[in-house]
Amino acid sequence: MAVKATLKELAGVTGGRVIGDGNAVITGVAPVEEARTGDITFITGAKHLKGLAAAKASAVIVKDGEYDAPGVNLLLVKNPRIAFGKVTDIFKPAYVPPPGVHPRAEVHPGARIGAGASVGAFVVIENGAVIGERAVIHPGVYIGLNAQVGPDSTLYSGVAVREGCVIGSRVIIHCNSVVGSDGFGYEFDEGRHNKLPQRGIVRIEDEVELGACVTVDRAAIGETVIGRGTKIDNLVQIAHNVRIGANCIIVAQVGVAGSTVIGNGVVIGGQAGLVGHIRIGDGVMIGAQTGVSGDLASGVWSGSPAIPHTEWLRASSVFARLPELKKRIAELERLVAELKEKK
Amino acid sequence: MAVKATLKELAGVTGGRVIGDGNAVITGVAPVEEARTGDITFITGAKHLKGLAAAKASAVIVKDGEYDAPGVNLLLVKNPRIAFGKVTDIFKPAYVPPPGVHPRAEVHPGARIGAGASVGAFVVIENGAVIGERAVIHPGVYIGLNAQVGPDSTLYSGVAVREGCVIGSRVIIHCNSVVGSDGFGYEFDEGRHNKLPQRGIVRIEDEVELGACVTVDRAAIGETVIGRGTKIDNLVQIAHNVRIGANCIIVAQVGVAGSTVIGNGVVIGGQAGLVGHIRIGDGVMIGAQTGVSGDLASGVWSGSPAIPHTEWLRASSVFARLPELKKRIAELERLVAELKEKK
Amino acid sequence: MAVKATLKELAGVTGGRVIGDGNAVITGVAPVEEARTGDITFITGAKHLKGLAAAKASAVIVKDGEYDAPGVNLLLVKNPRIAFGKVTDIFKPAYVPPPGVHPRAEVHPGARIGAGASVGAFVVIENGAVIGERAVIHPGVYIGLNAQVGPDSTLYSGVAVREGCVIGSRVIIHCNSVVGSDGFGYEFDEGRHNKLPQRGIVRIEDEVELGACVTVDRAAIGETVIGRGTKIDNLVQIAHNVRIGANCIIVAQVGVAGSTVIGNGVVIGGQAGLVGHIRIGDGVMIGAQTGVSGDLASGVWSGSPAIPHTEWLRASSVFARLPELKKRIAELERLVAELKEKK
């Protein structure tokens, strides 16, 4: 099953143009430092120019207009990373299980499975659930009562989508993530935490990706929403009634508490935490490990509690010198007392 | 399957009393800003009084003694949240799978399944395990050798309860959580980390709730304990031999290291971390992202390392001004040197 | 199935020597404060000497050369913890499922299962996958296309090993962990985050242990590597193309971002985070909740951003006094202004 293509053919696939030998035969992809004859690789940024000269690859994808031909075959494209991704899809295609429902899946007769969908072994699909066309439900997934998964979405093994939750089209959810677990809501009364019903849903819009072991809680009433094109990394916690806008990036182990509203294009670094019931404006950037306890309208934020990122950088650089500053204050107090006395 | 009830009937269910039309027909629940004719909603606190006047709901649950009738039908109760929860259970009942053992569950003949219990498809129940009456074991759960699940408990899909662990009554464990994984214990010797046997158990007392993707490690010897009525949010880590008291609240992504002992009614904010072998007293409150490295007898704590919350608030507000303070110290040093010279 | 052994026999198993009655009959293990007649226990360190005198155990494992016989039967060994572990294995043996492939496992005819391996119910093993001799694959595990699991490895229930990933020998992976989920890689272009193919693998070397709900992402191209003998606790995130050396200890809820390279014998405390594309030298120690944003060649580090641990301890102790320091600076400014004026 070895795949071969000429550089010219790859130019067609990527919408690029060739400088050098368009008939060069490409048989694989590799990072620049590991590429050998037959491989195509890519570089971005001037810092890799040296690597380019030394490259043993049969062709290199570069940004059109950024490089001269240095004696190797070049494929000039608008965006080298995306072009390299397209080429990777050719030489290392993704694993996709065959369509059809595995005889060892447990699909309720009242569920609907779209044409071309794949349902693996030991999957459970409850009554009223709908699986879209060409969706891929890997082994061991659980789809609850009346839940929906849109066309061309992929749910990897062990994912749980609980009752009533709605997953859009072209969504990807990685292994063992949970969509629609109960929100964390109690009312303390008569000496105990009384569980409040969590009967809303989670709605995940088109082209969202959730990493592995992500947890998204269902709303108490209404919806928890992950907006179109938002990408969420592994082990992230999204609490009940949170609403996240479109095209956000949420890095691993972030936690977002209940009812917080996040705008479009927000970037949240790893292990950051947001308290509940706040609003984060479009385009806000939140650094790793930041603790956000109030609304943020715009800007870049870091620290716990969060302050503007540049202030945080400056203050952090002074932090280590606190013991020295304390000594200098004490010395000043001594000197000033002395001066006062002498007067 | 539409549910209807008069306001009078709901007063019976919630132990409240009606001001207005007790015959008003209620057909659903909604938050105050979304409620329409037919819905019942609730408000708490004076700040929602305006919302109350504007409410389009057919009835509003309020705290008895807190409001006058403003022209809408009121259901006056002791605790509006709990009453609204009871009403929600009527109009949006929880999904409960039917009792019985699914033919595609793998139940060892040496396991005992209580009357009225539900065991879903692809569940594994090992030899000697005991499932209590009316317990609900959702699809894909794993119950290990001799493990016990008490009556009326619910384990959602993908939960693992390893050998020997004991789960009490009316416990809820959300999808993909793990009870009884090995504790993280090694002894470095002869150039390698030698695994120490982890052969104790986890004991989860009655009315505990664990979120999704929670991990509770089994004790090395003896027991890891989660006390009665304690509620634990998603993605929390409880290490081996930890003992947690009753009615604690542990928010998402908290980590508690080995052998730490936590009292009753302790509240731990999201992403906080507690080192091992410490004691946290009854009623202690620990803020989000706090790092606790020693015993805490009482009080409210924040910061990493933890200090009293009010001190932390004050110190944090000065933190951003550290660069300015440093400059002011340098300026003082200059001035004092000048004064000394002039003398 | 009660197990009995004489102290003399246990001396043989642990390579130790007895002081006292070698014929004492041992029937169980317990921590020193819970041990009763028939139990063997252990102590380490002088602080437990009192406990030793009061011990009700029938024998106590101690470090050879560290204790005199205080009237109880002693088993003197080189390393008491490891010896106690060996004895625990005798009295509380681990649960090991029987070898053989469960009829309700779904094993592709193109997969190979080694002699003596155990494959549980509802396991899926895809085409081309290889399970080593005596490996134990607990119920509900997913093993992807062409993935490999080495001899004597144990995968607990719900673990997912995606296509092509390679697990070494004597590896242990706890429930619901994920090996080989897609790395978190996108390229923003034309208003959306374009997914970049993640087609490398994860390689886990011999004697690694991964806790529960750990996520290890596959490389974009090439390999994400966990080195021989490294032990990883629950809920840890290892991003794509990370390379971790041998014999590291990574405590719960740590996150390591993409392409970071970690040396041998590195210790990382709970909830610490490492940004991507950095290098951590052999033997570096990183404290709990630390935020590492640059290379660390050696030493012990704490804080976010990370500074040397001793500096962090000193600076943290001043932090709470920041409001007081600010006041003292203001008072100095007042005094100095006064002095200047009087001149």
Can you tell me the distance from the alpha carbon of B257 to that of B274, in angstroms, rounded to the nearest whole number?
A: 6
Largest CA distance in chain A: 98
Is pLDDT of A210 > 80?
A: yes
Residues in chain C, pLDDT under 70: 1, 46-54, 69-70, 343
Q: Report CB contact under 8 Å: B221, C31.
A: yes
pLDDT digits (tens, 9 = 90+) for A49-73: 666 666 789 999 999 988 776 688 9
Q: What is the pLDDT of residues B3-59, one digit of tens each?
A: 999 999 999 999 999 999 999 999 999 988 889 999 999 988 766 666 666 678 999
3-state DSSP assignment of residue B261: strand
ipTM for this model: 0.96
Which has the closest alpha carbon to C225: C242, C208, C207? C242
Residue-wise pLDDT for A160-181, tens only, equals 999 999 999 999 999 999 999 9
Residues of A in contact with B94 (CB under 8 A): 197, 199
- Band (pLDDT 50/70/90 cuts) for residue A137 is very high
**Residues B193, C229: contact at Cβ < 8 Å?**
yes
The reply to whether residue A235 touches residue C213, judged by beta carbons under 8 angstroms, is: yes
The shortest CB-CB distance from A322 to any of C213, C239, C315 is to C315
- Using alpha carbons, select from C256, C255, C251, C280 the residue that is nearest to residue C268: C251
Query: Closest Cα of chain C to B315: distance in Å?
Result: 5
- Contact yes or no for A235 and C237 at CB 8 A: yes
Task: Please give the structure tokens belonging to residue B166.
Answer: 């004991």
Beta bridge partners of C274: C256, C292
Q: What is the mean pLDDT of chain C?
A: 95
Place A326 in a pLDDT band, splitting at 50, 70 and 90: very high
> CA of A213: which chain C residue's CA is closest?
C213
- CB–CB contact C186 A251 (8 Å): no
- Catalytic pick among B48, B138, B174, B240: B240
Q: By the 8 A CB rule, do B153 and B168 touch?
A: yes
Contact C137, C131 (CB under 8 A): yes
Interface test with B, best of C63, C289, C304, C327 (most B CBs within 10 A): C289
Distance CA C180, CA A235 (A): 14
Question: Which residues of chain C make contact with B336, given a CB cutoff of 8 A?
Answer: 336
Q: Please give the pLDDT value at position C146.
A: 98
Compute the Cα dihedral for A36, A40, A41, A44 and give only its sign. Answer: positive
Q: Which residue of A has its CA nearest to B92?
A: A199
pLDDT-based confidence at A325, cuts 50/70/90? very high
CATH code for the structural domain at A100-285: 2.160.10.10
pLDDT at position A51, please?
Answer: 65
Task: Quote the pLDDT of residue C103.
Answer: 98
Pairing of strands A39-42, A28-29: parallel
A50 membership: H or E segment, kind and range: helix A49-54
Q: Which residue of B has its CA nearest to C319?
A: B315
Question: Would you call A329 helix, strand, or coil by DSSP?
Answer: helix
Spatial separation of the C-alpha atoms in residues B130 and B151, rounded to whole Å: 10
CATH architecture of C5-91: 3-Layer(aba) Sandwich (3.40)
User: Where does the pLDDT of residue B342 fall: very low under 50, low under 70, confident under 90, or very high at 90 and above?
Assistant: confident
Q: What is the C-alpha end-to-end distance of chain B, expressed in Å?
A: 94
Chain C nearest CA to A105, separation (Å): 10
d(CA A343, CA A323): 31
Tokens representing C49?
A: 């000497």
Q: Where are the beta strands (DSSP E) in B128-260?
A: 130-131, 136-137, 142-143, 148-149, 154-155, 160-161, 166-167, 172-173, 178-181, 186-189, 192-195, 201-204, 209-210, 215-217, 223-226, 231-232, 237-238, 243-244, 249-250, 255-256
Q: C175 to chain A: nearest residue by CA?
A: A176
Q: Tell me the three state secondary structure of residue B315.
A: helix
Give the orientation angle of helix A322-342 with respect to helix C309-319, to 10 degrees. Answer: 50
pLDDT in tens, B72-130: 899 999 999 999 999 999 999 999 999 999 999 999 999 999 999 999 999 999 999 99
pLDDT digit string, tens, across residues B262-296:
999 999 999 999 999 999 999 999 999 999 999 99
How many Å lie between the alpha carbon of B275 and the closest alpha carbon of chain A? Answer: 18
- Could you say which of C34, C140, C231 has the minimum Cβ distance to residue B222? C34
Quote the distance between the C-alpha of residue C324 and its chain's center.
Answer: 42
Contact (CB, 8 A) for B150 and B170: yes
**Could you say which of A192, A255, A342 has the minimum Cβ distance to residue B247?**
A192
What is the DSSP code (8-state) at residue B244?
E
Determine whether B240 is an active site residue. Answer: yes
Q: Is C127:C145 a contact under the CB 8 Å cutoff?
A: yes
CB contact under 8 A, C315 and A319: yes
Of A273, A318, A329, the CB nearest to B322: A318
pTM of the model: 0.97
CA distance A208 to A246: 9
Nearest-neighbour CA in chain C from A190: distance (Å): 35
Amino acid, res. A131: I
| Arithmetic mean of pLDDT, A99-111 | 98
Report which of residues B116 and B342 the model is more confident about: B116
Give the per-residue pLDDT at C170.
98
pLDDT for position B152: 98
Pull the structure tokens for residue B226: 């989660």
Segment B148-156 mean pLDDT: 98
Q: Render pLDDT for C146-155 as a digit per residue (tens, 0 to 9).
A: 999 999 999 9
Lowest-pLDDT range, A257-261, B23-27, B332-336, C50-54?
C50-54
On chain B, the residues whose CB falls within 8 A of the CB of C209 are 195
Q: Considering A48, A240, A277, A309, which one is annotated as catalytic?
A: A240
CB contact under 8 A, B194 and C252: no
Point out the residue among B92, B213, B288 whose CB comes nearest to the CB of A199: B92
What is the per-residue pLDDT for A316?
Answer: 97
Can you give the pLDDT at residue B67? Answer: 73
Sign of CA dihedral A85, A87, A91, A95: positive
Question: 3-state SS of A259-300?
Answer: CCEECCCCEECCCCEECCCCEECCCCEECCCCEECCCECCCE
CB-based contacts of B325, cutoff 8 Å, min separation 6 = A318, A325, B318, C325, C326, C329
- Buried b / exposed e over A92-105, threshold 16 CB at 10 Å, is beebebebebbebb
Residue with tokens 């950095």: C278
Residue A69 CB coordination number (10 Å): 14
Give me the pLDDT at residue A69, please: 63
Ranges of H-type helices in chain B: 7-14, 49-54, 80-91, 309-319, 322-342
pLDDT number for residue C55? 72
8 Å CB contact of C213 and A213: yes
Q: Which residues, in sequence order, are bridge partners of residue A202?
A: A224
Candidates B126, B192, B221, B322, partner chain C, best to mutate (most C CBs within 10 A)? B221
Q: Which whole number is the average pLDDT over B218-223?
A: 96
d(CA A300, CA A287): 7
Other beta carbons less than 10 A from residue B98's beta carbon: 8
Contact C232, C253 (CB under 8 A): no
Nearest to A45 by CA among A67, A19, A23: A67
Q: What string of H, E and C letters represents the secondary structure of C281-304? A: CCCCEECCCCEECCCECCCEEECC
Q: What angle do CA C156, C94, C129 make, to 5 degrees?
A: 35
Question: Taking the CB of residue A333, how many other CB atoms lie within 10 A of it?
Answer: 16
- Within 13 Å, how many C-alpha atoms sit on residue B305's CB side? 17
Best CA proximity match to C227, nearest among C252, C202, C256, C251: C202
Written as six digits, the tokens of B335 are: 């001035």
Is A197 close to B89, i.e. CB distance below 8 A? yes
**Dihedral of CA A289/A293/A296/A301: which sign?**
negative
Six-digit token string for C85 = 């572990």
CA distance A108 to C60: 59
DSSP string, A145-203: TT-EE-TT-EE-TT-EE-TT-EE-TT-EE-TT-EEEEPP--EEEETTEEEEPP---EEE
The helix/strand count (H/E) of chain A reads as 5, 40
**A193: Cβ–Cβ under 8 A, 6 or more apart, which residues?**
A186, A187, B229, B231, B247, B249
Reported as a single tens digit per residue, the pLDDT across C72-116 is 899 999 999 999 999 999 999 999 999 999 999 999 999 999 999
Whether B319 sits inside 8 A of A304 (CB atoms) is no
| CB neighbour list of residue B301: distance below 8 Å, 6 or more residues apart | B284, B285, B286, B287, B290, B292, B307, B308, B309, B312
* CB contacts, 8 Å: B140 with chain A: 122, 124, 140, 142, 158
* Spatial distance between the Cα atoms of C31 and C50, rounded to a whole number of angstroms: 14
CA distance C59 to C74: 6
Q: What pLDDT is recorded for position C56?
A: 85
Q: Is the pLDDT of residue B1 over 60?
A: no
Q: Which of B177, B234, B311 to mutate to test the interface with A (most CBs of A within 10 A)?
A: B234
Residue B183 confidence class, pLDDT cut points 50, 70, 90 = very high
Task: For residue A42, give both structure tokens.
Answer: 């890519």
Strand order in the sheet with B160-161: B106-107, B124-125, B142-143, B160-161, B178-181, B215-217, B237-238, B255-256, B273-274, B291-292
Which chain B residues have a beta carbon less than 8 Å from that of C102? 106
Q: Which two tokens stand for residue A276?
A: 């509940």
Instruction: Count chain A–chain C contacts defined by CB atoms under 8 A.
Output: 188
Residue of C nearest to A340 (CA): C339
CA B266 – CA B249 distance, rounded (Å): 6
